[in-house]
Chains A and B, each alone.
Chain A
Amino acid sequence: MHGFRQHLPGQRALLALAVLGLAGSTFAAPPADMVPIPAGRYTPLLRSTKDAPQVAVAAFLLDARPVTNAEFLAFVTANPKWRRSQVSKLFADSSYLENWTGDLEPGLKAPLPAPVVRVSWFAARAYARAAGKRLPTIAEWEFAAAAGYTGPDGRKDEALNRDLYAWLARPVPAVLADVATAKPNFYGACGLHGLVWEWVDDFNTAMVTGESRADTGLERDLFCGAGSIGAKDTGDYAAFMRSALRSSLQANNTTSSLGFRCARDVTLTASTP
């Protein structure tokens, strides 16, 4: 572990240079709290025959960690309409920030360094906009989260899979762990797995209908026609769970284990002082 941690920063710096170089920017380094994710291709879990088998993902910057209660407290302090007592029910359901003690008091059940949960997609989006950022897309998030601890393909990373399923095997704790406890993946993004679920910008395009056997049927055309999806993808149970969760949500919904982090275009980053 020590060797791994020690050599990673250098590797990340190289990666950052590569990402930014690809973007054709003259910019030197990304903000300290974000990590660069290189361009790549993402294979959607479920799609109809009309969809392309792979989606290109441009290089982008991603928050190294999920947004914390402390950060969200600063946001609602500055933006009263997103406080629990003032938020519109159209934008956040009745359990919005329910675990907080008060409008501006996260309290004991929501420690400041822990990820913020019980936030709606609208709220997460508003936060991102206020921070000069945006929410990542499904393709971006999944591409970044596909990395393991030591390489870009996490499917072969036994340690990651063990941690991931261990997290899935535990109910949501009454008090979430601090974001600092999350391990970095190959790109330096921490806690994409094993801390909280995270909102994505286009969550409502996830194709799980709730009748997952019918969803498999969607895929069957693809198996017969193109046959481009390997069995390893139907075996990625965690990806199915993320897809199912996204599909079950309305934009004003909140849950006890759903938070978010922000992203930013590389070019935008480069032009910002």
Chain B
Amino acid sequence: MQPNSFSMKNPTRYLLPAALCLAAMLALPVHATAEGPADAKGPVILPTEVLALPVEQAILTAPPHVPPAIKRTYSARVVVNLEVREVVAKLADGVEYTFWTYGGQVPGSFIRIREGDIVEFHLNNHPSSKLPHNIDLHAVTGPGGGAASTFTAPGHSSQFTFQALNPGLYVYHCATAPVPMHIGNGMYGLILVEPKGGLPPVDKEYYVMQGEFYTSGRYGEEGLQSFDMGKAIDERPPYVVFNGAVGSLVGDKAITANVGEHVRIYFGVGGPNLTSSFHIIGEIFDKVYPEAGLSLPNANVQTTLVPSGGAAVVEFKVDVPGTFILVDHSLTRAFNKGALGMLKVSGPENRVIYSGKEIDAVYLGAQAEEGSDSAKREAELKAKILAEIRSNPAITSLTKEMQVEKGKQVYMGLCFACHQPDGKGLPGAFPPLAGSDYLLADRERAIRTVLKGQTGPITVNGVIINSAMPPQEAVLTDQQIADVLTYVYNSWGNKGDAFTRDDVKSIRNQNH
């Protein structure tokens, strides 16, 4: 877990005492009438029951962090102070851009209120701004979502009040002409209106927002980039990114969780134009509140479609450790334009759920058709290789050595009981193999004996032995018989060539 990552388990330290909130409210800028916007109507006269509501200063957080869950069970008057600033910041390595921001970063500060709250909204346009700005909050019921009421010249401040009637996760954005440029420069963010009953508790909450940037230069072209009106109108952005920059959620800046935790991501799309196919590689969203209505979630979702100017809430439990990649599954955006983020999950492995790589083997795919010219050529080459191997004393001796070792394993598992580990047999009962004239005189007979067994008197080294050996043809493969005979023919002072599988096979196939 990153040191600055927000933990839902300790929300109290973020809550300011009510007295402090009131003080902060009194310290707000007050407009001289002569300096206010032309259409300013003056403060709304609120009914006494609304005036009686407790006053709170909204806690705003920069992405990927989210303000603490709301604990109160009653409505409040919430004061929101949002500052608009035009800032030069990094869009990618070596690439700078002048972002127009709500709160100094892209996306804008996350705002969290509760259904039924009365929100006193202050939009403060920094004196260094070149342009007027405003805000349209999709959580607002009223013309323009607050746009006309918050239209603010550089170095000025506007105020309006609204009541949050509908719960949900909503996009807010600048609606000053030309709107696509204001949004295209980063003027968007999310406001969460928690339902009266709250949201189910989770372990980690994060804030991720997608937007595209229409830079004058190609992707990766260094230096301070300008907004390109032509590319914007044609909807050809060189950059599609999460949280305002390539790599804003990568490496040290990745969002984090521990195995077993429940994670909730508030995901929005600022646009100005593109719809996102939001997906986390290797995770399945247990729940998605599609279009962020916070009423009926869908279960078990792989990819959720989030429109420009829309949002979704996704929830999932992280079961195994590793790095999970956030992407827009319109994948050239992820691969070529920057729409990549990381969720790093730490904790113990669970190889039943996910084993990791178990085997890496060569796979040749479908073989060439039998009888094809290529197959014939392949067979010729194989035969040639085999002949080369056989004629190469070094390789042949290695092959024989290996057969001896394998044959020894067969012998010590099966044959040693009668013929004894030293190959000397038991006098009068089982014939010897070491130095046996009977054995070494006839290789084919040796194979046949192992395959079919041997009953009746034989003479070995001048001694008649009348015994019985059971057939092994059902027990041993041709290769095993070749191996064990190679072992026997090359142990205890015996010397002989190796037996091949084909040698055994030809005898096995004889009917007699």
- Are B128 and A256 within 8 A (Cβ)? yes
Q: Interface stretch among B5-13, B16-24, B130-138?
A: B130-138
A230 within 8 Å of B by Cβ?
no
Interface size class for chain B?
35 or more
- Are A93 and B144 within 8 A (Cβ)? no
A255 touches which one: B155, B176, B177 (CB < 8 A)? B155
Chain B residues whose C-beta falls within 8 Å of the C-beta of A170 in the assembled complex = 88, 98, 224
A171 touches which one: B86, B179, B227, B233 (CB < 8 A)? B86
User: Closest chain A residue to B96 by CB distance?
Assistant: A169
Chain B residues whose C-beta falls within 8 Å of the C-beta of A208 in the assembled complex = 176-177
B228 within 8 Å of A by Cβ?
yes
- Are A247 and B34 within 8 A (Cβ)? no
- Are B143 and A211 within 8 A (Cβ)? yes
User: Closest chain B residue to A45 by CB distance?
Assistant: B177
A160-218 contacts to B, CB under 8 A, are 161-162, 165-166, 168-172, 197, 204, 208-215
- Are A165 and B179 within 8 A (Cβ)? no
A257 within 8 Å of B by Cβ?
yes
A237 within 8 Å of B by Cβ?
yes
Chain A residues whose C-beta falls within 8 Å of the C-beta of B176 in the assembled complex = 208, 210, 212, 244, 248
B302 within 8 Å of A by Cβ?
no
- Are B38 and A215 within 8 A (Cβ)? no
- Are B226 and A211 within 8 A (Cβ)? no
- Are A169 and B153 within 8 A (Cβ)? no
A126 within 8 Å of B by Cβ?
no
- Are B155 and A211 within 8 A (Cβ)? no
B46 within 8 Å of A by Cβ?
no
B359 within 8 Å of A by Cβ?
no
A13 within 8 Å of B by Cβ?
no
Chain A residues whose C-beta falls within 8 Å of the C-beta of B229 in the assembled complex = 161, 165, 235, 237
B224 touches which one: A169, A213, A252 (CB < 8 A)? A169
A34 within 8 Å of B by Cβ?
no
Known: A241-B131, A244-B132, A253-B156. A169 touches B35 (CB 8 A): no
B410 within 8 Å of A by Cβ?
no
Report the minimum CB–CB distance from A165 to chain B (whole Å). 4
Known: A171-B88, A241-B177. A247 touches B227 (CB 8 A): no
Chain A residues whose C-beta falls within 8 Å of the C-beta of B97 in the assembled complex = 169
A243 within 8 Å of B by Cβ?
yes
Report the minimum CB–CB distance from B173 to chain A (whole Å). 11
User: Closest chain A residue to B174 by CB distance?
Assistant: A212
- Are A245 and B153 within 8 A (Cβ)? yes
Chain B residues whose C-beta falls within 8 Å of the C-beta of A112 in the assembled complex = none
B225-281 contacts to A, CB under 8 A, are 225-229, 233
- Are B216 and A255 within 8 A (Cβ)? no
Report the minimum CB–CB distance from A260 to chain B (whole Å). 16
Chain B residues whose C-beta falls within 8 Å of the C-beta of A254 in the assembled complex = 155
* A186 vs B147: C-alpha distance when bound (angstroms): 38
* A76 vs B130: C-alpha distance when bound (angstroms): 25
Please indicate which of the listed interface residues A208, A215, A244 has the most CB atoms of chain B within 10 Å of its own CB: A244
Interface size class for chain A?
35 or more
- Are B34 and A240 within 8 A (Cβ)? no
User: Closest chain A residue to B154 by CB distance?
Assistant: A255
- Are B128 and A168 within 8 A (Cβ)? no
Report the minimum CB–CB distance from A68 to chain B (whole Å). 20
Chain B residues whose C-beta falls within 8 Å of the C-beta of A212 in the assembled complex = 147, 175-179
Report the minimum CB–CB distance from B40 to chain A (whole Å). 10
User: Closest chain B residue to A171 by CB distance?
Assistant: B86
A250 within 8 Å of B by Cβ?
yes
- Are B32 and A89 within 8 A (Cβ)? yes
A208-266 contacts to B, CB under 8 A, are 208-215, 235, 237, 240-241, 243-245, 247-250, 252-258
Complex interface bits, B277-314 against A, C-beta within 8 A gives 1, otherwise 0: 00000000000000000000000000000000000000
B395 within 8 Å of A by Cβ?
no
B175 touches which one: A89, A197, A204, A213 (CB < 8 A)? A213
Chain B residues whose C-beta falls within 8 Å of the C-beta of A108 in the assembled complex = none
Complex interface bits, B115-134 against A, C-beta within 8 A gives 1, otherwise 0: 00000000000011111101
Chain A residues whose C-beta falls within 8 Å of the C-beta of B148 in the assembled complex = 209-211, 214
- Are A248 and B152 within 8 A (Cβ)? yes
A95 within 8 Å of B by Cβ?
yes
Complex interface bits, A117-135 against B, C-beta within 8 A gives 1, otherwise 0: 0000000000000000000
B147 touches which one: A95, A210, A245, A256 (CB < 8 A)? A210
* A213 vs B177: C-alpha distance when bound (angstroms): 8
B425 within 8 Å of A by Cβ?
no
B37 within 8 Å of A by Cβ?
yes
A94 within 8 Å of B by Cβ?
yes
A52 within 8 Å of B by Cβ?
no
Chain B residues whose C-beta falls within 8 Å of the C-beta of A93 in the assembled complex = 32, 34-35
Chain B residues whose C-beta falls within 8 Å of the C-beta of A32 in the assembled complex = none
B157-204 contacts to A, CB under 8 A, are 175-181
User: Closest chain A residue to B85 by CB distance?
Assistant: A171
* A213 vs B371: C-alpha distance when bound (angstroms): 72
Known: A165-B229, A240-B177, A244-B176. A211 touches B128 (CB 8 A): no
- Are A255 and B127 within 8 A (Cβ)? yes
A237 touches which one: B86, B151, B153, B181 (CB < 8 A)? B181
Please indicate which of the listed interface residues A161, A254, A255 has the most CB atoms of chain B within 10 Å of its own CB: A255
Please indicate which of the listed interface residues A169, A172, A235, A240 has the most CB atoms of chain B within 10 Å of its own CB: A169
- Are B132 and A248 within 8 A (Cβ)? yes
A166 touches which one: B127, B177, B226 (CB < 8 A)? B226
B87 within 8 Å of A by Cβ?
yes
Report the minimum CB–CB distance from A256 to chain B (whole Å). 6
User: Closest chain A residue to B184 by CB distance?
Assistant: A237
- Are B38 and A250 within 8 A (Cβ)? yes
A96-130 contacts to B, CB under 8 A, are none
A90 within 8 Å of B by Cβ?
yes
A240 touches which one: B35, B38, B178 (CB < 8 A)? B178
- Are A168 and B179 within 8 A (Cβ)? no
* A96 vs B177: C-alpha distance when bound (angstroms): 26
A78-93 contacts to B, CB under 8 A, are 89-90, 93
* A166 vs B155: C-alpha distance when bound (angstroms): 23
- Are B228 and A250 within 8 A (Cβ)? no
* A176 vs B290: C-alpha distance when bound (angstroms): 49
Known: A169-B225, A244-B177. A256 touches B132 (CB 8 A): no
Identify 19 new A-B residue pairs, CB closer than 8 A, beyond the known A210-B150, A212-B176, A250-B36. Answer: A94-B35, A161-B229, A162-B226, A165-B229, A168-B226, A169-B216, A170-B98, A209-B151, A210-B147, A210-B151, A212-B147, A213-B179, A235-B229, A235-B233, A237-B229, A240-B178, A241-B131, A252-B35, A256-B155
Could you list 17 A-B pairs, sorted by A, with CB under 8 Å?
A89-B34, A93-B32, A169-B216, A171-B128, A210-B148, A210-B175, A212-B179, A237-B181, A248-B152, A250-B37, A250-B38, A253-B35, A253-B155, A255-B127, A255-B154, A256-B154, A257-B130
Residues of B within 8 A of A (CB): 32, 34-38, 86-88, 97-98, 127-132, 134, 143-144, 147-156, 175-181, 216, 224-229, 233
The 3 nearest A-B residue pairs measured at CB: A210-B151, A248-B132, A212-B177
